[in-house]
Amino acid sequence: MKNSNSNYFLEKPNLKSQDPDVYEILKAEEEKQTNKLCMIASENFVSKAIREAVGSAFMNKYSEGQVGKRFYEGNYNIDDLEKLCKERAAKLFNIPVKWRVNVQALSGSPANLAVYMALLKPGEKIMGMYLYDGGHITHGWSYEKGLKNDPSKIIHRGGQRKVSASSYFFTSVQYKTDPQTQLIDYDKLEKAVLAEKPQILVTGGTAYPREIDYKRMNSIAKKAGAYYLADIAHEAGLIAAGVNNSPVGIADVVTFTTHKTLRCNRGAIIMADKKLMKKIDRAVFPGLQGGPHNHSIAGIAVGLKEAMQPEFKKYAAQIVKNAKALASALEGYRFDIVSGGTDKHLLLIDLSSKGVFGRKFARALDYAGIVANMNTIPQESRSPSDPSGLRIGTPWVTTRGLKEEDMGLIAKWMNRVMERISEWKSLKFDVFDAKVAKCDALVGIASEIKEFLSDGDCC
């Protein structure tokens, strides 16, 4: 029979000859990831072993159901794989004996939706952090066009524009940070939660640079009779390494994506007490999805083992050292850092005093070889598509081996970009974009960064 030789799975990759179009795009992406400083706070750079597992024969198998209880035959190897992945997650995050793990949710948004579906009835209330202050779109975001933020109010009630399933199928309200400190004010929040009486209180998000007091949050939720969901997608790696505090065993449910500081491939993990997990398992499958992506689970299992090694603890600690060093170096160039610094892997820069805002700065930085993203800031007065801030993170550059002293160089490059483009701050975006695309000074910085990254000492 054709193709029946025992080396069927070991044949060399032939993407280049079979599909040169995709191959060329892949090469361009690899070149970009090699030669630029990738500093999107939610991105990282996985190992070859993870890529091998993700590109493996595991992707060929359907395995609807749970370990040992599948709807299709031939799942003995998948059972071994999923069991191993769950055991590694349980060990790494030191879950209580009565807790269980789900590794099947395809990514963070479906993981959060599965928790809501398991624990709430349609229309019940979710209370999460205000999106503009660093919350996440799946924590109940909705808005009303033209309605301005009222800083005197801690609660955002949203509006008719229900952006994600979390506001479309559930009632949602959001809590804001304190306008002066840009931090969660737990006393004010407690009053607001008791008044709102949500069925679930959610913490975590995409741009809150500080640690969260999980015990206090859980106690607030309990006083209000609410479940407490800690979404630790951003800081999961820092928590696994003991660099940030852990909500595992404190919150009712913990969710996280696996590809940020945890440095696995894309996917998600849910952890909760076994009684809740029975409902959550059913919400993931068959509630929201069919067969799990076994190749993703394979990659995550490999990444979890990497995260158990002593080097990972050092890596996670270095991520935070680098972020703190970058914040302080940027302050030296008069960049305003939201909340005055960071406890984590990310910092949020308020660009209001510079007069060049997030959209333009992020684009110019990209031309100069630094990839970051525009972001809203607390008390945001501009549109999310052209916001006041820039979010920047250190997981990827730390994987590349960069240390605190290198953060000084990055801050200097960022400041040179800002100084060069400030004369174009009033231009329309398209005109600005055309100018910066051809700017010799930015091309020069991009070459310096490429050379820096190709230096053997760096990575």
Enumerate binding residues for ligand DSN (CB under 6 A): 42, 108, 206
φ/ψ (deg, to 5) at 212: -110, 140
What's the min distance (Å) between Cβ of 113 and ligand DSN? 13
The span from the CA of 3 to the CA of 351, in Å, is: 59
What's the min distance (Å) between Cβ of 438 and ligand DSN? 29
Measured from the CB atom, the residue of 206 and 339 that comes closer to ligand DSN is 206
What's the min distance (Å) between Cβ of 176 and ligand DSN? 19
Measured from the CB atom, the residue of 345 and 354 that comes closer to ligand DSN is 345
Measured from the CB atom, the residue of 88 and 259 that comes closer to ligand DSN is 259
Measured from the CB atom, the residue of 99 and 141 that comes closer to ligand DSN is 141
> 431: which residues sit within 8 A by CB, 6+ positions away?
none
What's the min distance (Å) between Cβ of 40 and ligand DSN? 6
What's the min distance (Å) between Cβ of 108 and ligand DSN? 5
Tokens of 211: 């640690």
What's the min distance (Å) between Cβ of 206 and ligand DSN? 3
Measured from the CB atom, the residue of 298 and 372 that comes closer to ligand DSN is 372
Is residue 63 within 8 Å of residue 291, measured between CB atoms? yes
What's the min distance (Å) between Cβ of 91 and ligand DSN? 26
Measured from the CB atom, the residue of 42 and 398 that comes closer to ligand DSN is 42
Residue type, 442: L
Measured from the CB atom, the residue of 136 and 305 that comes closer to ligand DSN is 136
Measured from the CB atom, the residue of 234 and 420 that comes closer to ligand DSN is 234
What's the min distance (Å) between Cβ of 42 and ligand DSN? 3
The Cα angle at residue 168 between residues 165 and 169, in degrees rounded to 5: 85
